[in-house]
Structure 1
């Protein structure tokens, strides 16, 4: 459970840094995501999840 909470905290840190460093870029990225078809977003999300699970599997003993 601690690992899950740590991972969620790191997501918040990374997203917070992105919004702090490039707020206009993040706003443009959100606008682009709103215009992207749902199927494309779903596929990208699934690929990101699979890559994330693979990385955790490879990195954790």
Structure 2
């Protein structure tokens, strides 16, 4: 398997876009959302993160298949 820098940078750019969308579209609500997340226990945040990772892997697998 060969590393494709263009594909990697495209994926990185898309990740930045997806990360920025909530802040742009829901700027007024973000402080409340961030406060809510900061009050969650670490295990709950880890489960949320793992769910996002697995969902992302599933999307990539479906697209590549």
- What TM-score comes out, normalization by structure 2 length? 0.75
Equivalences, count: 61
Question: Following the alignment from structure 1 to structure 2, what is the Cα–Cα distance between the partners of residues 17 and 47?
Answer: 19
The structure with the larger Rg is: 2
CA distance in structure 2 between the aligned counterparts of 1:14 and 1:47, rounded to whole angstroms: 16
CA deviations 1:14-41 (Å, max 9, x no partner) are 2323212211212211111100000000
**Unaligned residue ranges in structure 2 (runs of 5+):** none
Instruction: Note closer, same or farther for the CA distance 1:52–1:34 as it changes in structure 2 (3 Å cut).
Output: same
Q: Give the equivalent residue in structure 2 for 1:55.
A: 59
Unaligned runs of 5+ in 1: none
1:40 equivalenced with 2:44 (yes/no):
yes
Structure 2 equivalent of residue 29 of structure 1? 33
Report the RMSD for the aligned CA atoms in angstroms. 1.6
The TM-score normalised by the length of structure 1 is 0.79
